[in-house]
Chains A and B, each alone.
Chain A
Amino acid sequence: MARVVVDVMLKPEILDPQGQAVQRALPRLGFEGISDVRQGKRFELEVDGPVDEAALARIHDLAESFLANTVIEDFTVRVEEVSEAVK
C-alpha cells in the first residue's frame, strides 16, 4: 500500500478570507512577522497496489475533475514515502 497526497489551494489571485482571518489572529497569539496566510486542503489517498505511472495518471484525473475545481483552485499530486522508522 502507498499513500498519494493531493494538495489543493485557491489560485493565488483569489481572495482567501479564511486565511486572512487566521493571519489577523496571529499577533494576538504572539506570533509576529507572518505577513500572509492562505488555507488549503490536503487529501491523503491510500492506494492498493503499486503507485505506477498509470495509477498516478488516474489520480491526477481524479484531482483535476473532482478534488479540485480548476476554475478556482490549483492542485499538486505527489507520492509520500512511508518511512520504515515510523512502523
Chain B
Amino acid sequence: MTARIGVVTFPGSLDDRDSQRAIRLAGAEPVALWHKDKDLKQVDAVVLCGGFSYGDYLRAGAIARFSPVMDTVIEQAKAGLPVLGICNGFQILTEAHLLPGGMLGNDHLHFICRDQKLRVENAETSWTTDYTAGQEIHIPLKNMDGRYVADQYTLDELEAEGRVAFRYLDFNPNGSLNDIAGITNAAGNVVGLMPHPEHAVESLIGTGRTDGLPFFTSILKKLVNA
C-alpha cells in the first residue's frame, strides 16, 4: 500500500494543489484535508502548505492554529506524526508551538520572491533523509512574513542540537536570525521552512531544477520503511 500524505487546505491556502502534485510525483498518494475536519483520514503524514490562511489577519498563521484540523494535527504531531510546514505552514507550526520561536514581517518590509540558495544542515529529519548534510540547493522563496526570531536561549539550543535544518546562503532574504530558513523539532518529525520545495519538483518550472523533490521522497521512503 502506498503512503498517504494529507495536505490541509485552509481558507486562503494557495499551494495545496502544488503540494499534492509534489507528493504524487514522489510516488505517494496525496489526500486533501479540510480545515474544518477534525479527522485526518488516516494519513501517514501531513503537509501544511503555503498561502495566507485566514488572510494572515492578526498574525501569520495565528488563526489557522485554532482551526479544528489543527487540534488533531497538534495532538498527533506530538505523538510522532510527520508534519511538514512550508511558508504559511511554518508560521502555523510556530503559532501552534510545535516548533519554537516566531515569524515576523521581513526586515525590509517588502514581499519577496526569488530563487533562494540554501544549505541543508540536518539530513536526518523525517523530511530530509534524501539530502546529504551540507548539500546546497536552490528552491523558490516567496513571502511577506519570513523573519524567524527566537530568544538567545532557544537559538543556542537549536544550534547545539542540530535543529537548524536549513540555512540561507549568500543572501538573507528577510532578516532571519542566524540565517535560519527552516528548523525541526527535537524528534525530527516536525519540520518547517520558509522556501517552497513543492515549487521545485519539475525541471520545466520554478528554478528549472528539482531540488525540492527529496522532501517528498524522504518522507515516502521513511513511511514505506516504517
When the two chains form the complex, which single residue of B97, B101, B107, B151 contacts A15, counting CB atoms closer than 8 Å?
A: B107
Q: Which residues of B contact A17 (CB under 8 A)?
A: 105-109, 175
B121 at the interface (CB under 8 A from A): no
When the two chains form the complex, which single residue of A15, A66, A67, A71 contacts B150, counting CB atoms closer than 8 Å?
A: A71
Q: Mostly helix, strand, loop or mixed at chain B's interface?
A: loop
A21 at the interface (CB under 8 A from B): yes
Interface range on chain A (Cβ under 8 Å from partner)? 10 to 19
Measured CB to CB, the nearest residue on chain B to A41 is B58
Measured CB to CB, the nearest residue on chain A to B147 is A15
Q: Are the CB atoms of A21 and B109 closer together than 8 Å?
A: yes
- A15-B175, A66-B62 known; A71+B105 contact, CB < 8 A: no
Q: How far is the CA of A13 from the CA of B59 in the complex (A)?
A: 19
Which A residues between 30 and 87 are near B, CB-CB below 8 angstroms? 66-67, 69, 71-72
Q: Which residues of A contact B150 (CB under 8 A)?
A: 71
Q: Are the CB atoms of B59 and A69 closer together than 8 Å?
A: yes
**Contact mask for chain B residues 95-124; partner A; CB cutoff 8 A; 1 contact, 0 none:** 101001110111111000000000000000
Which B residues between 116 and 175 are near A, CB-CB below 8 angstroms? 147, 149-151, 175
B217 at the interface (CB under 8 A from A): no
How many residue pairs at the A-B interface have CB separations less than 8 Å?
A: 34
Q: Are the CB atoms of A18 and B105 closer together than 8 Å?
A: yes
Q: How far is the CA of A72 from the CA of B94 in the complex (A)?
A: 11
Q: Are the CB atoms of B66 and A66 closer together than 8 Å?
A: yes
Residue numbers of A with Cβ under 8 A of B are 10, 13-15, 17-18, 21, 66-67, 69, 71-72
Instruction: List, sorted by A's number, 19 A–B pairs whose CB atoms are closer than 8 Å.
Output: A15-B107, A15-B147, A15-B149, A15-B175, A17-B105, A17-B108, A17-B109, A18-B109, A21-B109, A66-B58, A66-B66, A67-B58, A69-B59, A69-B62, A69-B102, A71-B94, A71-B100, A71-B150, A72-B149
Residue numbers of B with Cβ under 8 A of A are 58-59, 62, 66, 94-95, 97, 100-102, 104-109, 147, 149-151, 175
